[in-house]
Structure 1
Amino acid sequence: MARSNARLVRFGFLAALLILCGFILSKGATSSYSISTGGGSAKPAADTSNNDVDESEKKIEKPIDPKKPVGNNGEKVKATFVTLARNRDVYELVGSIREIEDRFNHNFHYDWVFLNDEEFDDEFKRITTAMVTGKTHYGTIPKEQWGFPEWIDTDKAAAVRKDMRERKIIYGDSISYRHMCRYESGFFFRHPLMEQFDYYWRVEPGIKIYCDIDYDVFKYFKDNNFAYGFTISLPEYKETIPTLWETTKKFIDENPQYVDKNSMKDFISDDGGSSYNGCHFWSNFEVGDLSLWRSEAYLKYFDYLDQAGGFFYERWGDAPVHSIAAALFLPRERIHFFDDVGYYHVPFHNCPVDQKVRLSHRCSCNPKDDFTFKGYSCVNRYYKVNQLKKPDGWQQYGD
């Protein structure tokens, strides 16, 4: 009898133990963790059946943007990455390529065009081809597109460089920088290697992409009829473009038909077009529709600027040239600000200030470093003139 009772006791104990384990496992399977939107450490989620739960303690779900198709549905856009580089840039450039491939292109396998004013060597081709999941193309820039045009007074240009060097204007004494700005302004899209493509994404050595891009950027542009996309905008150094706006106004006076009726002129001018406020899109990151640069309006505009000589008699950059053209020749709805990419080019960071975006896109940046809504940034003006709602959290990281 005692032995039978002992068996019953052991059986009861084992049953109780199994019930307890089942209870613990079931609690573990249904519990979750939330992250407070106010920052701080992770904590167990509160019971959301209570209507008095603090909104900041609710679990953050990954948002789904219906405008952006996730993944590649098989429809490939005629698009490419394009980089202007020299052989010696290869090891700085591979970091940029890795950023693009890891965050975006390993899912989509778009091609990459590399352009150089000299021939690319075998080492550059070998290394970059190994990094890119799409096809790689290597092109040499024609000499006439990377040099002084015949109408430029080289003595006058040299005197300008000397003056800018003495005034310590950034790149003010550089000949190669001026050739680069002129080439990016008027010729990169004309290279034979670019003729097969409709869209491009410009990438430079030393950049970073902070966030996962899980949708096809080029298809997104095509589907939404965007023509120009940017991540950073700020005023240009006035010392480098003293006559750029006056030259532009003369062109517009002679060709008023090229200015779009819904242009974003109010982004680049505070006084109805009398003066230029310097706001420009930082062109070291550009996603664009190549038909913009191939258009009659832009080709004539570039030729007008080129004949004026400001690329050499001053230091006109491709960024203000592209920005002015996009703002004037496009309807404002075709210009797109990327608030979900996360981008860095020394010294400025673009880091999504909306915590939901940062978490869902696995962004590896600190929003405290974000330049987007700081006082010196022109993105504030972009939101204002287009009457756009700023993202959640911008006050915390803006000025």
Structure 2
Amino acid sequence: MASESLLDGERAPTIHIKTDPTITSYRTRIIYWLKKHTVFSFTLIVASILTFSLYLSSRPSQKFDPAYFNPSLFHPAHQDKLRAAPSVDYLYPDNFLSWDHISNTSTKVKAAFVVIAREEELYKLHTTIMDIQRHFNHDYPWIIIGHKVFSTHFRNWITRIATSPVSFGLAPTIEWQEPYWINIRRAEQGVKQMTKLGLPKGESMHWRRMTRYNAGFVAFHPLLKDLEFYWKVQPGARYHCDIPNDPFQRMKDEKKKLSFALTKTENHEYIQSFEPVVKAFIRRNKRLIQPVQNSVYNALLDGEEFEPNELGDYGGHYSNCMIYNNFMIISLDFLRSKEYNMFFDALDSSGGFFYEKWGDAFPQTMAAALFLTRQQISFDDIAGYHYDEGAVCPIDIDQYVQLKCTCDPFSVAGIYGIIIEQFVSSIKKMFYS
């Protein structure tokens, strides 16, 4: 035909492929296959159900324990609390200590041994608890707090050797971790510098978090809610001699707020910015502070004369002498007081707990010097106490035998104890004269 193009005859023929709309996707393909193999599909489903049913029936039956899920029973007697959660090695932390259930004739004061510990310090703590129970004949409860939940293994070991009730608490993350205003890069630089200088624990962020928590937050833990005093126990501390008297009872009877056994001098590298922060607090809050003549503030100064200024009697430079608070008995009323917490907040907001390494001993020593009278502070020569470089061991043979001591007074630690013993009278004069 004349009207047709000459190229029409050269075109390839059009091929039409019929597609099945039921197999245009994976889902529809599966449905299409199942419809074509109905009998096989049904048999496969039935066999799967039967196999799963047989598997469930072969497992040992687990009875539902309604008591476990009853919040009011989360804190039973210390042996009964070793009740694992279903299928996991997790036990809920304790949040309540009922004094009515633990008091007896040997615990007339609402007080407890308080430990801040880690899971890996189990055997150190085990040794310390055994020492105290061997040498101190009063069944005050134990409160052990960690930044992570303690395992069943940890609780088993501690509760099996403890002769008094034990509670296992958890430090709230918001109180344990560094606060939002901390410059992490600056804190890391401080850690690196102290590590470079080889300063003990200079590299440890855990130590910084722990001591800050102890200085400002542990007193508000719900497990300590009803207590009057607590005895700070350090995992690994040793008690080598009998403790014949009850320090808790004596502190209550004599209206003491703080008791300690040793003093030491802090490394200035740890606390370079501490003094200016304290002086700024004093300048703003003179109305809260004890008069110098009533306090132990002057005992913390280096003794050099200073020019009069707006701080008045609270001028001068610190000698870095502090209470060695790895052994310390302290009033919870004092730690919860308005003035103490205002002081802690001032220190905390400066960032020194993380930028440097203030710890808890020096801040608490300074707080005692600012807010307590001399009569409220007690120096206790706890014979046989030993932790790290601090120790006291009697050199008088009569006292050594009477207290059933097992320490070596002429070891390196014992020599330090002799030095302490020789200066007991001067320390007492410094704090009480």
Specify the TM-score bucket, using the shorter chain as the normaliser: 0.7 to 0.9
SS in 2 for 1:183: helix
1:160 maps to 190
Greater shift, 111-120 or 203-212, is seen at 203-212
> Tell me, what secondary structure is at the counterpart of 2:272?
coil
Task: Report whether the alignment pairs 1:203 with 2:233.
Answer: yes
1:330 partner letter: L
From 122, 127, 152, the counterpart of 1:90: 122
Mark the runs of 5 or more structure 2 residues left unpaired by the alignment. 1-103, 304-312
TM-score, normalisation: structure 1? 0.74
Alignment-mate amino acid for residue 163 of structure 2: T
Whole-angstrom CA distance in 2 between matches of 1:297 and 1:314: 24
Select which of 109, 112, 129 maps to 2:159: 129
Q: C-alpha root-mean-square deviation of aligned residues, in Å?
A: 2.2
Aligned to 2:218: 188
Deviations 1:254-273 (A, max 9, x none): 11122223110121113464
Residue 342 of structure 1 and its aligned partner are, at CA, apart by 2.1
What is the CA–CA distance in structure 1 between the aligned matches of 2:334 and 2:422, rounded to whole Å? Answer: 25
Residue 145 of structure 2 aligns to a residue whose secondary structure is: strand
2:428 matches 1:383: yes
Q: Distance in 2 between matches of 1:356 and 1:232?
A: 22
Asked if the contact 1:372/1:379 (under 8 Å) is kept, the reply is no
Report SS of the residue matched to 1:201. Answer: strand
Give me the TM-score of the superposition, normalised by structure 2.
0.69
State how far apart, in whole Å, the 2-side matches of 1:378 and 1:115 are.
Answer: 35
1:254 corresponding residue in structure 2: 284
> What is the distance in 1 between the residues matched to 2:260 and 2:222?
25
Quickly say closer, same or farther: Cα 1:376–1:153, change in 2 above 3 A. Answer: farther
User: Whole-Å Cα distance in 1 between the matches of residues 409 and 113 of structure 2?
Assistant: 27
**1:110 and 1:74, CA in 2 relative to 1: closer, same or farther beyond 3 A?**
closer
Q: Percent identity?
A: 34
Q: Distance in 1 between matches of 2:349 and 2:106?
A: 45
Equivalent position of 2:132 in the other structure? 100
For the residues of structure 1 that align with 2:372 and 2:248, how far apart are their CA atoms?
18
Shift of 1:316: 0.7
Q: What is the distance in 2 between the residues matched to 1:249 and 1:334?
A: 23
Give the superposition deviation at 1:356: 4.0
Gaps of 5+ in 1: 1-71, 389-399
Is residue 269 of structure 1 aligned with residue 314 of structure 2? no
Correspondence for 1:371 among 401, 409, 416? 416
Q: Does 1:334 align with 2:366?
A: no
Separation in structure 1 between the aligned mates of residue 268 and residue 422 of structure 2, nearest angstrom = 15
Distance in 2, matches of 1:75 and 1:376, equals: 30
Q: Per the alignment, in what secondary structure is the counterpart of residue 242 of structure 1?
A: coil
User: Runs of 4+ in structure 1 displaced over 6 angstroms?
Assistant: 375-378
**Contact 2:295–2:370, Cα closer than 8 Å, also in 1:** yes
- Cα distance change on mapping 1:286 and 1:203 into 2, 3 Å: same
The alignment covers a number of residue pairs equal to: 315
> SS state of the match for residue 342, structure 2?
helix
* Letter aligned with residue 312 of structure 1: F
Establish whether residue 351 from structure 1 lines up as the match of residue 393 from structure 2: yes
Task: Give the Cα–Cα distance (whole angstroms) in 2 for the partners of residues 256 and 286 of structure 1.
Answer: 27
Larger gyration radius, structure 1 or structure 2: 2
Q: How many Å separate the matches in 1 of 2:185 and 2:422?
A: 37
Work out the CA distance in 2 between the residues paired with 1:247 and 1:356: 47
Counterpart in the other structure of 2:176? 146
Query: In 2, Cα distance between the equivalents of 1:363 and 1:375?
Result: 17
